[in-house]
Amino acid sequence: MAQAAANDTGKKLIHIDISSDSVCPWCFVGKKNLDKAIASSKDQFDFEGVNKKEFYRSKFGSRSEQIVSRMTEVFRGLGLEYNMSGLTKEISKVSKVFYVKMELISFPICRGSTLDSHRLINFAGQQGLDKQHDLVEELFLGYFTQGKYIGDREFLVESARKVGVEGAAQFLENPENGLKEVNEELEKYSAGITGVPHFKINEKHQLSGGQPPEVFRKAFQVAASDST
């Protein structure tokens, strides 16, 4: 991955790797704030593609009610409505399990498997990081604000269609498609990470959680100064 360096425009390059989960509300908050930080920093830096590295986390458990209350407040601050139905819809059609490193473990709240969403996100990245970015946004919006079920194949395919990802339905039909790539990314990027979202800037500076835009902007400045 490229370190920060001056390019033809005279701006420093910033490269960002992100570890997140498609059913983690703080990952959505972190993404929205990162987008704001990037948009307000383009006059200072050039950003190489924001590369979405997805892996699976189970982290809520008995704290779910407290988290829902907090996330409702945070989403309202972003101008969004936090919709809880996305956590329970289709509960009778899925097992109460969650995927972590491709192994099944018990999980107290049924969210359904996020595996297909991660396979699809990886597939979108092969068609361009812009499409991958837009797909992640679409999945977050559907799951957290529209009550969509993250394991619903129709929802996944429609989300892909909206952002211009081609061949999603055919890709998802084979459960082996993308599985190797997701596993490889999981092993590579989850080492040493205890929670999501997690951001690595220029392979050196690390941030965790749904940081506000000003924290990201400061991290960009520090990362850029390291290359001088």
How far apart are alpha carbons 51 and 121 in whole angstroms?
11
Separate counts of helices (H) and strands (E) for the chain: 8, 8
Domain ranges of the chain: 12-226
Contact status, residue 203 vs residue 1, Cβ threshold 8 Å: yes
Helix (H) or strand (E) holding 27: helix 25-39
CA 226 to chain centre: 27
| Nearest residue to 148 (alpha-carbon basis) of 114, 106, 175 | 114
Q: For position 33, what pLDDT does the model report?
A: 92
Tell me which of 5-19, 101-115, 189-203 is least confident: 101-115
Mean pLDDT, rounded, for 68-91: 66
For the chain, the average pLDDT equals 75
Query: Which comes out higher in pLDDT, residue 96 or 196?
Result: 196
Query: Which comes out higher in pLDDT, residue 28 or 94?
Result: 28
Q: What is the amino acid identity at position 203? A: E
- E strands, 78-142, where? 97-100, 103-106
Angle of CA points 123, 35, 13, to nearest 5°: 85
**In the structure, what pLDDT confidence band is assigned to residue 109 with cuts at 50, 70 and 90?**
very low
Q: For position 25, what pLDDT does the model report?
A: 84
Mean pLDDT, rounded, for 96-125: 57
Mean pLDDT, rounded, for 102-114: 40
For 213, phi then psi, to 5°, come to: -55, -35
Tell me which of 10-24, 157-171, 181-195 is least confident: 181-195
- In the chain, % of residues over pLDDT 90: 29
Contact status, residue 118 vs residue 182, Cβ threshold 8 Å: yes
Q: For position 160, what pLDDT does the model report?
A: 97
Tell me yes or no: is domain 12-226 CATH 3.40.30.10.
yes
